[in-house]
Amino acid sequence: MFKKILIANRGEIACRVIKTARRMGIATVAVYSDADARAPFVRMADEAVHIGPAPAAESYLIADKIIAACKATGAEAVHPGYGFLSERTSFAEALAKENIAFIGPPVGAIAAMGDKIESKKLAKEAGVNVVPGFVGEIEDTDHAVRISNEIGYPVMMKASAGGGGKGMRLAYNETDVREGFESVKREGLNSFGDDRVFIEKFILNPRHIEIQILGDQHGNILYLNERECSIQRRHQKVVEEAPSPFVTPEMRKAMGEQCVALARAVGYYSAGTVELIVSGADPTGESFYFLEMNTRLQVEHPVTEAITGVDLVEQMIRVAYGEKLAMTQDDIGIDGWAIENRVYAEDPYRGFLPSTGRLVRYRPPVEGWTDDGSANGRRGIGGVRVDDGVFEGGEVSMFYDPMIAKLITWAPTRDEAADMQVQALDSFRLEGLGHNVDFLSAIMQHPRFRSGELTTGFIAEEYPDGFTGAPASQRLARVLAAVGGIIATADADRARRIDGQLNGPQPAPGDWVVTVAGADHAVSLEEEAITVDGDPVWLAMEYTPGEKFVLVSEFADGEDDDAAPLATYGLQLEPTRAGYRVTTQGAKHGLRILPAHVAPLAQHMIEKIPPDLSKLLICPMPGLLVTLHVGEGDEVQPGQPLATVEAMKMENILRAEKSGKVAKVNAKQGDSLAVDEVILELE
């Protein structure tokens, strides 16, 4: 077995590989850029080599620097993780010339499948169903328009070397193609060093299903069931699960055997994923089409590990060393259900805009994943696993993707795994930047998700006006009202004790009016009970004034001390002028808390009206101004592109909200913009 391997990647996947290598007794080498000098994966590795500035194009994407690090440290093999150089044939060839093993597939398979244009040609020749489209070279925007018109709208434009949702645009008409084609080319070039684009028909009501492949260098190839990856935003996966609630045993077998045949045709070995698009309009599930093959490990691989008990990173290392697979297809089963949520640095309350900055507080629901080699180890602690690569006080940089962590839960059933997600998401403590934890919790509770009726349009269809939080049930509102009364009483008691003007202990007020979701609740704290609107509420919680996180358990009644709670809530508390903003169960809930005798006067308070900012184009996130589409004096119409800002390797088009004339332009192309910086003003 290898004595030392180098991980040519960063963040959570670097941590992930290091942990398995450590368990196997293999020493590890990390490479890092300026931005990652203090990152956890650098500290975890046995050795670390600095390879350049923060931009990936000057560090992680330079193969010569990776090879030099191998030579300097004596690393015998390289695990590429995903992204960066993981599907670059030139990198695998350069390693081979230096007699350094590549922990991945052979160069021929990478070349055949890594290029999405060539892979579709090969799949079609092999008799695999492919989505109708154009897989040749596209000359320019006009050529792209002609092709799209011939295929028929809607169409999907994709960067040939793309992945991870980058370099993709959906076009419903000629205008969309003209606006998006050049952006797709730029994203492909910036993220993957390849600006080639292909265009294919967009399947309506599609489900995104992928098959995990694992093969060795001795001709053995297996499929490790499927993953459902239909919940996406901007073509980037948000939620993944295994198995799929849609796939039947017959479909699984048909898909798996077809994907194995495709892998065998290109001499594939190592871990890989064949992605399929399935028409949700076909209840038989027979209308599935080859989408692409990712010749690397996938971000969502933990859900497959959880239901099969197979450590995919370990198998990749063993296969690269030349070992045979120690399992057959009959050994691959399905044990329980696993769900993965991607915790991103993006703010769903502000249109999912990227949110860079410092993690002032970071506390995941369990410690970062540790693998003891057992199935339970692969599932984490109590069925909860966190794969992360960040730390409290660290920075989420604009130079890389917005991933903070991956939250994986495993349980015997799908509903139980989803319930565990809600509770674990409630226990995440993230401060300092925007994040999507509330949004993920809302998805886990959504009736459509629970029914399994998923398509890639789920988010756009269920949240067409953006995300404002999961609705508070009547039960949750009563719990929050009671909690509001408890913390208000505790805060008042502390204030009375420390003001230095009391002649002995005085009772804190116990009667409050707590407003939750626009409804007033009368809360009374008595010696033996807490009542909300006259009915008792039984809670267990510990609260110290000033505390920002509180765990609350709700019980059926107060008689049985050994009874299990009906529900447990993790509450993030943020003081406001009127009370608290409480984040829990997928939403931010404002609590206005007033003493009962003061509450009737609240209606006389003056409401502050926010200023009108509609004439300003404000940069919603830190980023680079790639294109300024208008100049001073130009007339603009609603929906017209005004500026394109690149953040976290993706381009965001900022459009006019109303008609008008550009009065002043405050920025120029190439400027680095701060959040809320004014780009231009309308008359």
Highest mean pLDDT among 32-36, 128-132, 505-509, 592-596: 32-36
Average pLDDT estimate for 195-206? 85
DSSP result, 21-74: HHHTT-EEEEEEEGGGTT-HHHHHSSEEEEEE-SSGGGTTT-HHHHHHHHHHHT
We find that the CATH architecture of domain 616-682 is: Beta Barrel (2.40)
Backbone dihedral region for residue 315 (phi beyond 0: left; psi -120 to 50: alpha; all else: beta): alpha
CATH topology of domain 208-328: D-amino Acid Aminotransferase; Chain A, domain 1 (3.30.470)
Instruction: Show the tokens assigned to 515.
Output: 């407003």
Instruction: Show the tokens assigned to 311.
Output: 């450590």
Determine how β-strand 549-555 pairs with β-strand 395-396.
Answer: unpaired
Length of the chain: 683
Model pLDDT, residue 121? 80
The H or E element containing residue 406 is: strand 403-411
Q: Each residue of 631-677: pLDDT tens digit?
A: 999 999 988 999 999 876 678 889 988 889 999 999 999 898 888 89
Neighbours of 247 (CB within 10 A): 24
How many alpha carbons fall within 13 Å on the CB side of residue 104?
33
With a cut of 90, say whether residue 135 has pLDDT above it. Answer: no
Average pLDDT estimate for 282-296? 77
Proportion of the chain above pLDDT 90, given as a percent: 63
Peptide bond into 243 cis (omega under 30): yes
Of the listed ranges 5-14, 239-248, 390-399, the one predicted with least confidence = 390-399
CA distance 324 to 326: 6
What are the residue ranges spanned by the domains of the chain?
A: 4-103, 132-202, 208-328, 336-468, 474-498+505-604, 616-682
Model pLDDT, residue 59? 96
- Please indicate whether residue 167 or residue 107 has the higher confidence score (pLDDT): 107
CATH topology of domain 336-468: D-amino Acid Aminotransferase; Chain A, domain 1 (3.30.470)
Model pLDDT, residue 209? 96
Q: Each residue of 412-445: pLDDT tens digit?
A: 999 999 999 999 999 999 999 999 999 999 999 9
Q: Each residue of 463-487: pLDDT tens digit?
A: 998 899 988 889 999 999 999 999 9
Would the CATH topology of 4-103 be identical to that of 336-468?
no
User: What pTM does this model have?
Assistant: 0.82
| 421 within 8 A of 393, measured Cβ to Cβ | no
Model pLDDT, residue 502? 52
- Residues contacting residue 22 through CB under 8 Å, at least 6 positions apart: 28
Evaluated on CA atoms 223, 226, 230, 234, the torsion sign reads negative
Order across the sheet with 77-79: list the strands.
Answer: 47-52, 27-33, 4-7, 77-79, 101-102
- Please indicate whether residue 502 or residue 75 has the higher confidence score (pLDDT): 75
| 209 within 8 A of 454, measured Cβ to Cβ | no
**Nearest Cα residue to 393 out of 354, 357, 368:** 357
CA distance 274 to 472: 40
CA distance 481 to 511: 12
- Residues contacting residue 139 through CB under 8 Å, at least 6 positions apart: none
- Backbone φ and ψ of 529, nearest 5°: -155, 160
Average pLDDT of every residue of the chain? 89
CA distance 647 to 334: 39
614 falls in which pLDDT band (50, 70, 90)? confident
The H or E element containing residue 254 is: helix 249-265
Of the listed ranges 166-175, 335-344, 513-522, 645-654, the one predicted with least confidence = 645-654
CATH number of 474-498+505-604: 3.30.700.30
CATH number of 4-103: 3.40.50.20
Which residues belong to the active site? Answer: 292
Model pLDDT, residue 560? 64
Q: What is the four-CA torsion angle of 20, 22, 24, 28, rounded to 10 degrees?
A: 100
Task: Measure the N-to-C terminal CA separation of the chain; round to a whole number of Å.
Answer: 70
Q: Each residue of 565-587: pLDDT tens digit?
A: 888 899 999 999 889 999 999 99
Tokens 């239901």 — which residue?
307
Order across the sheet with 635-636: list the strands.
Answer: 616-618, 678-682, 660-665, 635-636
32 falls in which pLDDT band (50, 70, 90)? very high
Query: For domain 132-202, which CATH number applies: 3.30.1490.20, 2.40.128.20, 3.40.50.10490, 3.40.1410.10?
Result: 3.30.1490.20
With a cut of 90, say whether residue 47 has pLDDT above it. Answer: yes
With a cut of 60, say whether residue 501 has pLDDT above it. Answer: no
| 260 within 8 A of 363, measured Cβ to Cβ | no
Model pLDDT, residue 351? 85
